[in-house]
Structure 1
């Protein structure tokens, strides 16, 4: 307990003057900015719940809508995790929606027209080769953008604005404007739906594994702090964070498991498997959707890259002070190329989710996604001035954006007005970021 006492009482005078709330946040080290965003998300949810039928009978907080909300958020959340690194380095990528559309069309053609000629329909390798081809194309596009920006010194705004137009046009030329459908059955699982979910049992297993991972991460963090002599959080704070994380995870799993298959699909399943149809109907839980799992895995990997790898430290160093990073020996140009290459790969992953969910590759796929992706990153706390941003914040920002859109759809608000709201929210988010940075100085 000696180390704990030292950590929490190293400045008794300061502790005595602090309020209980400030002491709580200092002990738990909860990001107040991130907490404020979560609070705003809760208010949005409660507001739409009341407006769609009342606090009890509203439509927004029903398991079905929340389940669909997470699925719809997945593709933008994946791209937002990459957009964080780009904006942190004081760049921007306006082409992500068009790159998504182009990669989606390439993957659609691969699995619907090219690969079946050699492997046959529904071959188990089709979805793997399709996804690999899309990621290679996305990486090549991202590397091209990054190389032009880094080595030809063309501003990222101009390069990616050109990319927005070029790759949208290229999407049309791949099939001369035709929609490609249907997609491979296994590939479609990445889009969610009744079959694209893991079910109740597997969802609870994933939830328990996530809880163990949260506890292990907190214990490992404490061990590393102690090893290097850093201040330790109080034991009660460690317990609080562990319990909070587990409650949130298991609560999300419970909501996913409370959304059941539609009656007609459940009846077909029962008939096909010789299951007697019960009087109250057959309740089969969707569980966690596969695209949501993909987005979570991407978020974890991107967080690891940005906080644990040398590459991530280089990214934030460049964003904080590009000249100092160059003088420190960081190869800033190659870091830029790698960032945009990574963004291209994430666009391909998002394209796979979007194409699988639509069961088609269309020319309009990904339109305006650049707006939602940039807005998600900025709303999530990524500073346009560079050097500041978190992956978790961007993914919550994506959920905020999709929540606004989903709520307005439930209220029957026209699409033009939805765009007005999104634009206003983006401007307000940037203004709040400016105010926050001014007060932090």
Structure 2
């Protein structure tokens, strides 16, 4: 009874910490938007720019959804940018040189990502080589691989239907339908979570607070949908991100694999003694990361309508920064997929706002680096106080 109570209190405390961090990041995002809106006389919050911002952050968000699982498990992946660029180059070569159609091109590209994830997972999980070393090696290997398979030239143009993946929009009527479906899905999930907490004796907010929360989320969904359809509709890359967020959030919170990832990151030795197959779990994490890197590569190549030798350069910085800013702990055991998306949106907002203000790219890179350092410092300081 005492152990059960202590466990419940620990879960509630962890949930509270995550909520506080999430609200802090939301306030930080709103602050960034207000600053850029004032400096740009309102142009930053135009429907066109917000639509472009959402599409711009999609590639980082795709990588960040997988990176948060990697970091939660106590690892790091420095290869995601190079892998995204390499798999995108594979897709371009299949279409431009070998004249493959879009569907088989996507399948083979995802298979390449799967093989890369298998390769990295093998060395990390089975050969016990630190993930930092393995992925650093892969970063160099696949950056060179891009130059090798493209022969140092840009590969373009791609098929028109392939371009829809990175450049297309969902029609307004369908966008509205998706917004309604998302709202209903959130209501159902929230009600089920509330019932589950009550069932296991965990505290729940009052019904009025719960209803207010649901109304607030639905209002945000409606606002997002309204802004998107006021331009051309929900961008296809954003829809891909939303699907991945739903799938990976479910995996992280409602599957045995997800619980194993958090357990390994929280205390690896305890996880081993508990009978968790750490090797298999680590292997699966990097398989997922390989596939997500391939998806990011497909979206990137589609968006550019070309494969370039510099594609994916420094994407690993944005992905890692997004996960950490969104609440993933560098010490492992903490982090959420929605938090990583919030972090990606913050990074993309800084990038977008400074680019629109014609600030030199070198300054932008410096700012991103400082943001990452501050985010890690806040994480470590919070851990020490805890």
TM range (shorter): over 0.9
Where 2:31 maps in the other structure, the secondary structure is helix
Partner of residue 159, structure 1: 134
1:263-309: per-residue Cα shift (whole Å, max 9, x none)?
A: xxxxxxxxxxxxxxxxxxxxxxx111110000011011111111111
Measured in 2, the distance between the counterparts of 1:332 and 1:137 equals: 25
Partner of residue 72, structure 1: 56
Structure with greater proportional helix content: 2
Change (3 A) 1:310 1:326: same
- Provide the aligned C-alpha RMSD in A: 1.7
2:170 matches 1:198: yes
Aligned residues: 374
1:109-124 to 2 correspondence within 5 Å? 109-116=93-100
TM-score, normalising length: structure 1: 0.82
Measured in 2, the distance between the counterparts of 1:306 and 1:378 equals: 17
Measured in 1, the distance between the counterparts of 2:126 and 2:196 equals: 40
Contact 2:150/2:309 (8 A) holds in 1: no
* Residue 210 (structure 2) aligned to one of 227, 233, 238: 238
1:4-403 to 2 correspondence within 5 Å? 31-53=19-41, 58-116=42-100, 126-192=101-167, 196-259=168-231, 286-403=232-349
Where 1:183 maps in the other structure, the secondary structure is coil
Larger deviation, residues 325-334 vs 68-77: 325-334
Q: Which has the larger radius of gyration?
A: 1
Measured in 2, the distance between the counterparts of 1:28 and 1:97 equals: 33
2:376 matches 1:430: yes
Contact 1:146/1:337 (8 A) holds in 2: yes
Measured in 1, the distance between the counterparts of 2:269 and 2:16 equals: 35
Change (3 A) 1:29 1:168: closer
Measured in 2, the distance between the counterparts of 1:218 and 1:305 equals: 16
Contact 2:18/2:327 (8 A) holds in 1: no
Larger deviation, residues 182-191 vs 239-248: 182-191
Measured in 1, the distance between the counterparts of 2:238 and 2:364 equals: 24
1:221-264: per-residue Cα shift (whole Å, max 9, x none)?
A: 223334444333311122111101100000001111222xxxxx
Measured in 2, the distance between the counterparts of 1:325 and 1:75 equals: 33
2:362 matches 1:416: yes
Contact 2:179/2:221 (8 A) holds in 1: yes
Contact 1:28/1:238 (8 A) holds in 2: no
Task: Extract unaligned runs of 5+ from structure 1.
Answer: 1-24, 117-125, 260-285
Measured in 2, the distance between the counterparts of 1:112 and 1:106 equals: 10
Contact 1:27/1:233 (8 A) holds in 2: no
TM-score, normalising length: structure 2: 0.94
Task: Extract unaligned runs of 5+ from structure 2.
Answer: 1-12
Change (3 A) 1:114 1:62: same
Larger deviation, residues 422-431 vs 143-152: 143-152
Contact 2:25/2:326 (8 A) holds in 1: yes
